[in-house]
Amino acid sequence: MTGEPDDVDAMVEPVVPSRHRWLAGLLAAAPGDRVADLGCGTGGSLAQAAPSVAGGLLAGLDLSAAALARTAEAVGEAVAGLAPRPGLLWVQADLKAPLPLADGAFDRVLCHNVLEVLPDPDALVAEAIRVLRPGGRLVLAHSDFDTLIFASEDLELTRRLVRDYCDTQQPWMDAVDGTIGRRLADIAGRAGLVVEDVQAAVVLGRRFLPGEIGWGYARNLADTLSGDGRADPAELDRWLAGLQRLDDRGAFLFSVNDYAVICGRMPR
């Protein structure tokens, strides 16, 4: 991180429940399981996993205190009424360093949309394996940002903006690797994990409104590329106004592909 303000909305995508349901489903956690989300953001995935883990443990790790506060709120709501109530653990931690978690402490570990911002993603995967119990499950998931789709009035401009956005390191990132989604199976394989399945899901948004996924990505793209000097602010304003016009006539569409590898840790 570069000392930028703890701006959660710049770092974490708006929550799309179906996306996090998909990720939680891949974890396949059961009552009593201990689940960790590495780089949990605002807790979208842990909130979806919560109903499965009565009596277990939900742990969210993130560098951002503001994101962890939102996770605590979202997961708190999701576990209300669950019996027995799972334990909750929120840890402010830098995922570039060894995880402050014991060996084999978790049955299920998730990491979604974090690896691309780390200078050494393999080191975090090694740590994820260390904290997973033998026979446990690790889900590595990532968007591939070359697959960002915006319906727009200017196809060539949109293509150029998306390509530049995919490759631009934002102030809160320690690195950038926007196409890491397509290489997750390779990363898991070289870490010695057993890759049990590889899946893809399309995250779709039909509205260009605050709080919507397409709005979040378009605004982040514009802020990123103007902040980095890679696009002309007037051109970005024109592009955003065009997205708004499409929304006004019901023609806005956004999507991005998410990829997930479902991995097992070999029993010792």
Ligand X SMILES: C[S@@+](CC[C@H](N)C(=O)[O-])C[C@H]1O[C@@H](n2cnc3c(N)ncnc32)[C@H](O)[C@@H]1O
Contacting residues toward ligand X, per CB under 6 A: 11-13, 39-41, 44-45, 62-64, 67, 94-96, 112-114, 117, 174
| CA dist., res. 109 & res. 264, Å (int) | 10
| CA dist., res. 238 & res. 254, Å (int) | 17
Q: Which is nearer to ligand X, 63 or 222 (CB)?
A: 63
Q: Which is nearer to ligand X, 44 or 136 (CB)?
A: 44
Are the CB atoms for 193 and 265 separated by under 8 Å? yes
| CA dist., res. 138 & res. 39, Å (int) | 14
Residue nearest to ligand X (CB): 41
- Distance in Å, CB of 66 to ligand X, minimum: 9
CA dihedral for 221, 255, 110, 46, sign (positive or negative): positive
- Distance in Å, CB of 3 to ligand X, minimum: 13
- Distance in Å, CB of 6 to ligand X, minimum: 8
234: Cβ contacts below 8 Å, ≥ 6 apart: none
- Distance in Å, CB of 114 to ligand X, minimum: 4
Q: Which is nearer to ligand X, 61 or 151 (CB)?
A: 61
| CA dist., res. 109 & res. 207, Å (int) | 32
- Distance in Å, CB of 23 to ligand X, minimum: 7
Q: Which is nearer to ligand X, 41 or 181 (CB)?
A: 41
Residue corresponding to tokens 């998410």: 258
Q: Which is nearer to ligand X, 10 or 246 (CB)?
A: 10
